[in-house]
Amino acid sequence: MLIRIFLLALLLVWAAGCQGETAPEPTPVAVQGAPIDSKPTPSGDRRIKVAPTDPEARAALAVDVPAPSDKSGFISLSFTRLADFPYETDENGKLLPGQELPEHISALDGQDVAVSGYVVPIEFQEEKVSGLILVRNQLLCCYGEEPRLNEWVFVEADPPVEMITDLPVTLFGKFEASPDEEDGMVISLYRMRAVSQEVMDS
């Protein structure tokens, strides 16, 4: 399934960032002819940045995006709530013994919610984002820190949303809270079909 391939690829990128790996330098090539004007790709520069080692700087980047303001018809969620319980897998992606969803999390399955975080775009329709990962803080979106299963949401946006990666956003839509497993490996815990997006007030 294409979605699962995207998720696995993204998690591999996160893992590589955590281990400090970087892409190899390209081999220099002699320039021939006049330069061609280029336009930025829709995803912009998504290279993983080097996470700071200073404790205060890291702490600032690890602050959770707050819960969105209340909006009629939607349950307001924060990642502080979504990730406030252990839910871990082994190195093969299989759940460790005793890992279960709390009742207050399971109750969110099928609900209309508003959840805020930072966007990691993975699928595009022209200049807009149709598939993305929403994460709880800047360390996870831009610095290659590997998230736990309950620290991110896979989002399908219909209609596609504007690409906003440097500011926290709120997404509104139907929420799924259940382990999606394939061959015993948990692919995702949270999924969402978003119908709209708003930039959070600074």
Q: Lowest-confidence range among 14-23, 66-75, 105-114, 190-199?
A: 14-23
Class of domain 2-18+68-199: mainly beta
Mean pLDDT, residues 95-109 taken together: 91
pLDDT value at residue 5? 45
Cα gap 163→179, rounded to integer Å:
27
Residue 95's pLDDT band, with cuts at 50, 70 and 90, is confident
Condensed to tens digits (0 to 9), the pLDDT of residues 122-178 reads: 999 999 999 999 999 987 877 767 889 999 999 999 999 999 988 999 999 999 999
Are 171 and 41 in contact, with CB atoms under 8 Å apart?
no
Mean pLDDT, residues 93-105 taken together: 88
Cα gap 77→115, rounded to integer Å:
5
Q: Quickly list DSSP for 5-24.
A: HHHHHHHHHHHHHHTT--PP
At 197, which amino acid appears?
Answer: Q
Condensed to tens digits (0 to 9), the pLDDT of residues 20-77 reads: 433 344 444 444 444 433 333 444 455 567 776 777 887 888 889 999 999 999 999 9
Neighbours of 4 (CB within 10 A): 14
At 9, which amino acid appears?
Answer: A
pLDDT value at residue 183? 86
Mean pLDDT, residues 172-192 taken together: 93
Residue 184's pLDDT band, with cuts at 50, 70 and 90, is confident
Cα gap 119→6, rounded to integer Å:
15
Q: Quickly list DSSP for 113-165.
A: EEEEEEEEEEEEETTEEEEEEEESSHHHHHS-PPPPGGGEEEEEEEEEE----
Enclosing H/E stretch for 103: helix 103-106
For the entire predicted model, the pTM comes to 0.75
Domain boundaries, given as residue ranges, for the chain: 2-18+68-199
Are 188 and 169 in contact, with CB atoms under 8 Å apart?
no
